[in-house]
Amino acid sequence: MKILITTIFKYPHEGGLSTHVATLKKGLEERGHQVDILSFSDMNPVLRKTFTQAPGFILNKIKAGKGQLLNDRLKKKLLSSYLEKCKDEYDVINSQDVFAAISSIETGVPTVATVHGYFSFEAISRGALIPNSKEDLEVQEIEKRAYQEAAQVIAVDKRIKDYIMEKTNVSATTIKNFIDVTSFQTNNIDTKSVKEENQIPEGMKILFVPRRLTEKNGVTFPALALPKVLDKHPDTMLVYAGTGEQMEKIQDIVTEKNLHNNVKLLGSVPHEKMKGLYALSDIVLVPSVHSHGVEEATSISALEAMGSGSPVVAGAVGGLKEIFEHEKDGLLVKEKDVDDLATSIIRILDDSKFGDMLAKNARTKVEQEYSHLAAAEKYEEIYKLAIEQNKKVSKN
């Protein structure tokens, strides 16, 4: 098959969606398919700036939320113009967001919509939309249309599948997120070089937060928990890899609690360099929380940590509760509970054998349940269903 993956977002970019696309492409190509990606990054840079970004930026100054919707609509329009030129080259399109889904459906090419989350709620969570505003309600209608008109819909976890059914009465297929298990073996990585590159001192125990710095990822809580950890393990450093609107709050916590020598904010880190950071981590933290109706899906960051051989402490919310079996292949903590998070970190630092057991079991689970090749095979079957469905509609 010739498959086109579409999104109005940049690719590659920081976050799980970009990682999902890259890993799916690799799996599909390893199964013999041709896969192309059409994203915001592929479009004319002058048009990107003047046509789709500047107007929304200005409008957002007048009223929060209006600019976000305008930007997304203009991105959709620009994506449609590119799709019109290349649509005949592909057997199926797999969209990765609701605006890309609408553009893809309008080409007449069989379209599979992959749903990574709650588009409206997530925009509210990051401050881009105002709850129940005219813009928010309009985005919700766009969501419904995308799910109802796509030939097939894929949800990355059961909660999102249920959300789609509740909103639209559309039955989605659940295919959980996945990783390239073979590429996430970190045994041969020179961790000394990684530390030097990132200016991380030798002899420190590393707590690693591989997350976008956004509210739903609970990224402030590791910094809040760190003082209690330092009381027991003063040679500990908290390392963040990501950017987002919570950066300033983390910096404020670091200043308030005098943590400058024990917290490092690396900013945006290319995905290929993340493996080195996982390799040197004593614990990976995925402290997700509920935020404006948004819950963590099957976290790719958590799966990557499991594949890399690091023990994981995660928030007991959403898809994370489906990934981890508490005290067998990870530790689940109450969301927003600083003491619970600190206690769980200390428990692993106190008992390296316990941490090794969690990491070993997690690696086994990833190999058995979250392989990119197994996922690519499932996607292939959905693509075939979409093509057949489109043929039946065309005949009628």
DSSP labels, 1-17: -EEEEE-SS-SS-SSHH
Could you report the per-residue pLDDT of 198-242, keeping only the tens digit for each? 999 999 999 999 999 999 999 999 999 999 999 999 999 999 999
Question: Is the distance from CB of 306 to CB of 362 less than 8 angstroms?
Answer: yes
Confidence of residue 52 (pLDDT cuts 50, 70, 90): low
CB 131 within 8 A of CB 123: no
CATH 3.40.50.2000 in the chain is located at 2-178+371-395, 182-369
Answer yes or no: is pLDDT of 75 > 80.
Answer: yes
Q: Can you give the pLDDT at residue 169?
A: 96
Element (H, E) at 238: strand 236-240
pLDDT at position 15, please?
73
Q: Which CATH number fits domain 182-369: 3.40.605.10, 3.40.50.1460, 3.40.50.620, 3.40.50.2000?
A: 3.40.50.2000
Whether residue 258 is predicted with pLDDT greater than 70 in this model: the reply is yes
Q: What percent of the chain has pLDDT over 90?
A: 70
DSSP secondary structure of 320-360: HHHH--BTTTBEEE-TT-HHHHHHHHHHHHH-HHHHHHHHH
16-30: burial string, b at 16+ Cβ within 10 Å, e else: bbbbbbbbbbbbbee
Instruction: Tell me the pLDDT tens digit for each residue of 132-190.
Output: 888 888 889 999 999 999 999 999 988 899 999 999 999 999 999 999 988 877 777 88
Tell whether the model's pLDDT for residue 344 goes beyond 80: yes
Cβ burial 188-203 (10 Å sphere, 16+ → b, else e): ebebeebbeebebeee
> What CATH fold (topology level) applies to the domain 2-178+371-395?
Rossmann fold (3.40.50)
Q: Please state the length of the chain.
A: 396
Look up residue 111 and give its amino acid: T
pLDDT exceeds 80 at position 386:
yes
Q: In the structure encoding, which two tokens stand for residue 170, read together?
A: 């559309």
Q: What pLDDT is stored for residue 250 in this prediction?
A: 97
Tell me if 287 sits within 8 A of 217, measured CB to CB: yes
CA dist 65 and 319 (Å) reads 28
CA-based torsion, 269, 328, 322, 289: positive or negative: negative
**Mean pLDDT across the stretch 253-264?**
97
**314 pLDDT higher than 80:** yes
